[in-house]
Structure 1
């Protein structure tokens, strides 16, 4: 009886089927095939490293899963994005190498043509399965970086550690101008038919939505600006507020406050509206309404309670039936835009309600699950001057807003005459509304009776009203 020489090659255990099972097992627990083949030191080392990495990954996912601000911070750090991408590729390559070696250790010897064919197919399949997650990680990382570059302004360089920790620089309130641009193939330029200033209290997330009608006239321009010189009083600007953006966009070098801004027209409109209502506006976010539907579709639609039928479409032949229903992006767009059987001010109210519904329903899990589609839609339709370095703080703020009080103040009739607006009175209304929001113990709703609005979100009277009361 012949015995293998001392130190000679070990006999591979089992046949082709058993080797295939051990190789597949190495995908779930790398190193077990090495242990099976008698390579105890190598097998124990590989398995130990894998278990440590798995434990660290579980802990990291558990810590990051409920902390979107940390996720946002990681995405805004280029070196972290590159490190995660490179690490995922290296891990997949090492894991694949372990699987290939597992087959080599467990396959029968000598290997026939059938065994070699089975091994080739099996290894190709298993290595593909292991490489796909790393491809997804790299794609997600690159998409995140591209989205940040497309949507947000470059990070603000700062050596001030206090400013880095608190990008709001100790301010108690942040004001953001939300713009909906209504461009189209059959229209010249872009008109901001949706203009809402979101004034957010940093600590609580309490928010006042200040709606500005598109047809406000005689908008005052800040003194010393090119617009004020081009359109001096008493004649002033002879068009509607929604035309200011396009007016500046046509002559940015002559009319923009900062022609070097990424979007000189939006940057200038931010200053103009802030001056008009007496609220300094920190940032703007411009959404192309043609792509707004894509953003809603990316998160699976939004649930909207509808009390009365809403007709939409150029001929009013579309209909949103009453009831609580999940509407698509196209339907959400018309929910916020339709003026059929209503008016500009009614649809302004619905826009406020739509913002409320989206803020409440866009939970972190939904956002992460729909990340790729959301990122693609955002790159096509969204533009903002919020610096990338502010994104973690902005995510934190958005989470507070989703559970905080939300009020609306519509600068529309009867409280405002859009044809001849009293801008001093408008500033007074806005200042009073902000003071009311700062009062964390407001009077009971019954102490401020309001006439019933004709449509969800329609404010009647000059007092701000909770969207919880106005929206179904």
Structure 2
């Protein structure tokens, strides 16, 4: 539809304002300016397509917003990431073209320098406002996929990928949580934190089996290079926390699977599983130098401190009593300090910290601090979790955060670390796993032994103890 030249009866100012209004409206509902200009077929097609696309996007968002397992599955698929990126770029380009065309159809004629300037500024602002969210979508999709690629194991062949569940006919899974102490002033990496999380698949109830770093004479699986180099009855001639570095120095000679992404962590998973008499499904290794970054990325963690906790090489730092939101550095020291305490008090605090983090981390927190969390995760966390298992694990993690947590610490007086009785240790672990998920009823905590004085999370006795009881 052509517009006559504007005369005095219709001031050019109002014609320009009208064109700006229709162009802005078309940025929200594409096709309106086309309809106004008499381009009915084009306008109806554009508007109908937009409404159809918006409805589909809204339905998809509604379905996915509360289904983290589907979100995780999509993020782990490279073709979905590529499709999102290409689709976002194409849609942003098409939408921007419609905005430009909307101005061209509604602008006053003949167009003078004033209306041309208004049109240029308006179109630039509208297109920029439109492109920014699409750019954010592309960046988020790429960052998420990059993070998962760096953290997870390489994708397995399609024939090996899990179907509905990666654990058919299973009631529990075991995940080995490792904390490494690599540092600029230290050689190699020692796994000072070793916790096996036995998780009930249906309920999410979890038993944290804490393995001391100073266990000696660890047995190795029969037929492995480690078993040949360190034969029983004495086994390994160093502490358990040195196994990782020992294998890392000679992966081709000592690793159970030298082709694994991290042969040392993979071997340690099998070694601890053999020593405890269980099969461990996955490991997750966190570099403790970056653990503080992960805590900072989720905005800190609220920890009740009942007694002063000194930290630092000379005890120069102090965590004062009281309920406080700890920074990453403070949380690291809370879980690492042995000043005025010992390895076993530290193990207790580590179990409490895992409980606090699980309770306080939620999808809203993750989304709000996505960039910081993704960056910290890429730098500090590795695992052997296959991408196809991620949706089931995300769904399971949600149940864990709302379920019961118990702890069994394989430390004195339960275990003599210098001369451990591995048969007795396997019996303790087997009993703890068999009891996980059972409904102990309200009398459960009343029968539990008391924690050690001034040692939050410290478990004593041969049965798992509720962390709700042990942690402040």
Matches within 5 A, 1:328-347: 328-347=327-346
Contact 1:12 / 1:107 at 8 angstroms: preserved in 2?
Answer: no
Contact 1:12 / 1:106 at 8 angstroms: preserved in 2?
Answer: no
Q: Are the structure 2 counterparts of residues 28 and 343 from structure 1 closer, same or farther at C-alpha, using a change threshold of 3 Å?
A: same
Please tell me whether residue 203 in structure 1 is matched to residue 196 in structure 2: no
Q: Which residue of 1 aligns with 2:267?
A: 268
Using the alignment, how far apart are the partners of 2:302 and 2:191 within structure 1? Answer: 26
Using the alignment, how far apart are the partners of 1:415 and 1:44 within structure 2? Answer: 76
Matches within 5 A, 1:235-254: 235-254=234-253
TM-score by length of 1: 0.94
Q: Secondary structure at the match of 2:178?
A: strand
Q: Which residue of 1 aligns with 2:295?
A: 296
Q: Which residue of 2 aligns with 1:221?
A: 220
Using the alignment, how far apart are the partners of 1:359 and 1:418 within structure 2? Answer: 29
Aligned-residue CA RMSD in angstroms?
Answer: 1.8
State the Cα distance separating 1:422 from its structure 2 match. Answer: 1.0
Unaligned 5+ runs, structure 2: 7-13
- Per-residue Cα deviation, 1:153-207 (whole angstroms, up to 9, x for no partner): 122224479x411111322111111000100000000000000001111111111
Higher mean alpha-carbon deviation, 121-130 vs 35-44, is at 35-44
Q: Which residue of 2 aligns with 1:86?
A: 86
Please tell me whether residue 374 in structure 1 is matched to residue 373 in structure 2: yes
Q: Are the structure 2 counterparts of residues 390 and 446 from structure 1 closer, same or farther at C-alpha, using a change threshold of 3 Å?
A: closer
Using the alignment, how far apart are the partners of 1:12 and 1:194 within structure 2? Answer: 79
Q: Secondary structure at the match of 2:174?
A: strand
Q: Are the structure 2 counterparts of residues 449 and 144 from structure 1 closer, same or farther at C-alpha, using a change threshold of 3 Å?
A: closer
Using the alignment, how far apart are the partners of 1:271 and 1:160 within structure 2? Answer: 21
Matches within 5 A, 1:165-204: 165-204=164-203
Unaligned 5+ runs, structure 1: 1-7
- Per-residue Cα deviation, 1:426-454 (whole angstroms, up to 9, x for no partner): 11111111122142345713552412332
Higher mean alpha-carbon deviation, 209-218 vs 45-54, is at 45-54
Matches within 5 A, 1:12-411: 14-159=14-159, 163-411=162-410
Using the alignment, how far apart are the partners of 2:209 and 2:200 within structure 1? Answer: 14
Q: Which residue of 2 aligns with 1:4?
A: none
Contact 1:158 / 1:164 at 8 angstroms: preserved in 2?
Answer: no
State the Cα distance separating 1:21 from its structure 2 match. Answer: 2.5
Contact 1:30 / 1:50 at 8 angstroms: preserved in 2?
Answer: yes
Contact 2:3 / 2:109 at 8 angstroms: preserved in 1?
Answer: no
Which of 9, 13, 38 in structure 1 is aligned with 2:2?
9
State the Cα distance separating 1:346 from its structure 2 match. Answer: 0.8
TM-score by length of 2: 0.94
Contact 2:284 / 2:382 at 8 angstroms: preserved in 1?
Answer: yes
State the Cα distance separating 1:79 from its structure 2 match. Answer: 2.0
Q: Are the structure 2 counterparts of residues 446 and 401 from structure 1 closer, same or farther at C-alpha, using a change threshold of 3 Å?
A: closer
Q: Are the structure 2 counterparts of residues 147 and 178 from structure 1 closer, same or farther at C-alpha, using a change threshold of 3 Å?
A: same
- Per-residue Cα deviation, 1:326-359 (whole angstroms, up to 9, x for no partner): 1111111111111122111111111111111111
Q: Secondary structure at the match of 1:355?
A: helix
Q: Are the structure 2 counterparts of residues 63 and 446 from structure 1 closer, same or farther at C-alpha, using a change threshold of 3 Å?
A: closer
Contact 2:155 / 2:386 at 8 angstroms: preserved in 1?
Answer: yes
State the Cα distance separating 1:67 from its structure 2 match. Answer: 0.5
- Per-residue Cα deviation, 1:204-243 (whole angstroms, up to 9, x for no partner): 1111100011111111111111111111233432211100
Q: Secondary structure at the match of 1:198?
A: strand
Please tell me whether residue 433 in structure 1 is matched to residue 432 in structure 2: yes
Q: Which residue of 1 aligns with 2:11?
A: none
- Per-residue Cα deviation, 1:293-347 (whole angstroms, up to 9, x for no partner): 1111111111112212222223322222222221111111111111122111111
Using the alignment, how far apart are the partners of 2:39 and 2:462 within structure 1? Answer: 81
Q: Secondary structure at the match of 2:460?
A: coil
Q: Secondary structure at the match of 1:392?
A: helix
Q: Are the structure 2 counterparts of residues 446 and 274 from structure 1 closer, same or farther at C-alpha, using a change threshold of 3 Å?
A: closer
Higher mean alpha-carbon deviation, 234-243 vs 86-95, is at 234-243
Q: Are the structure 2 counterparts of residues 100 and 336 from structure 1 closer, same or farther at C-alpha, using a change threshold of 3 Å?
A: same
Contact 1:12 / 1:37 at 8 angstroms: preserved in 2?
Answer: no
Runs of 4+ in structure 1 off by over 6 angstroms are: none
Using the alignment, how far apart are the partners of 1:415 and 1:46 within structure 2? Answer: 72
Using the alignment, how far apart are the partners of 1:11 and 1:364 within structure 2? Answer: 57
Q: Secondary structure at the match of 1:15?
A: helix
Q: Are the structure 2 counterparts of residues 445 and 235 from structure 1 closer, same or farther at C-alpha, using a change threshold of 3 Å?
A: closer
State the Cα distance separating 1:38 from its structure 2 match. Answer: 3.1
State the Cα distance separating 1:41 from its structure 2 match. Answer: 3.2
- Per-residue Cα deviation, 1:99-152 (whole angstroms, up to 9, x for no partner): 101111121111112221222222122111111122111111111221222111
Aligned length: 464
Higher mean alpha-carbon deviation, 218-227 vs 369-378, is at 369-378
